[in-house]
Amino acid sequence: MAPALLELQNYQVAFSAGQESYPALREISFAVRDREALGIVGESGCGKSLTALSVMGLLPKGAAVSGGEARLNGKSLNGLTPEDWRSVRGKQVAMIFQDPMTALNPLIPVGRQIAEAASTHLPVSKREAKNLALDMMRKVGLSRTEHLYREYPHQLSGGMRQRIMIAMAMICKPQLLIADEPTTALDVTIQAQILDLLREMKENAGAAMMFISHDLGVIREICDRVIVMYAGYIVEEAP
Ligand SMILES: Nc1ncnc2c1ncn2[C@@H]1O[C@H](COP(=O)(O)OP(=O)(O)OP(=O)(O)O)[C@@H](O)[C@H]1O
Ligand SMILES: [Mg+2]
């Protein structure tokens, strides 16, 4: 069998402050295969976001990998330099965060943020990056894109901001899309629209997905498999 796209083996993350250290992820092992959608559920604080951030090379200050290994496309993610991580993020793995208001830069027009995501990771000119961004904005269901391109995050609704985040994440056609509670901040009808969009984008791009949610109903709709975490452990894995 081909190696999994993403594989974590006895992977551990600990927080340390001075001499004190406490484990936040405890020997977790799981894999995500090509095009597969893996759900992660578990109560608040169990380590879902840390798992996602580990795979993005974005662990918070004080946290470090303390054991085990994560591999992407068969290549270890342990001990990557910041520059290595920049080549992993965007093209191989991209992430959608729960709160687009904090994930987007408030001082840069949203269209330009999407274009910058493209020009950081792809060999394109400024003009091509802008066209890619406009195209992506249409694909995520935004209209009047030329106008929207120049708007700032605070001028958009929550649902529109999440569409912008999805456009930013998908613009480099990542192999793995991570969505960390992508609809928690939205009201119910908008939630359903964003979930449909995510599913559609994933299918069209042929990407795999790691989908984090408190809501098993949502996971059931979107995912092929689910793992349940509790206090830093994986306690269950099921279709
Ligand atoms: N910046 C930080 N500093 C110290 N501890 C942290 C930090 N971020 C997370 N932790 C700890 O790591 C553990 C896992 O946190 P994580 O954010 O992954 O939880 P989560 O499962 O995503 O929860 P939620 O559902 O609330 O988002 C928690 O016990 C938390 O206290
Ligand atoms: Mg979280």
Residue 44 Cβ < 6 Å to ligand 1: yes
Mean pLDDT calculated for residue range 205-218: 93
Q: How many other CB atoms sit within 10 Å of the CB of residue 183?
A: 23
Q: Range of 196's domain?
A: 6-238
| Per-residue pLDDT reduced to its tens digit, 108-117 | 999 999 999 9
Residues near 63 by beta carbon (within 8 Å), at least 6 away in sequence: 13, 14, 15, 24, 50
Q: Is the pLDDT of residue 2 over 70?
A: no
Residue 25 Cβ < 6 Å to ligand 1: no
Please indicate, yes or no, if residue 150 is contained in any of the structural domains: yes
Distance from first CA to last CA of the chain, Å, rounded?
19
* Number of domains the chain contains: 1
Question: What CATH number is given to the structural domain containing 125?
Answer: 3.40.50.300
Distance CA 11, CA 1 (A): 22
Q: Is the pLDDT of residue 186 over 90?
A: no
- State how beta strands 63-72 and 6-17 pair: antiparallel
**Which two tokens mark 114?**
């999407």
| Per-residue pLDDT reduced to its tens digit, 6-40 | 999 999 999 998 889 999 999 999 999 999 999 99
Please indicate, yes or no, if residue 102 is contained in any of the structural domains: yes
Please indicate, yes or no, if residue 1 is contained in any of the structural domains: no
Q: How far is the CA of 221 from the centre of ligand 1 (A)?
A: 26
Mean pLDDT calculated for residue range 66-84: 96
Looking at the CA of 180, name the nearest ligand.
2
**Banded pLDDT at 44 (limits 50, 70, 90):** very high
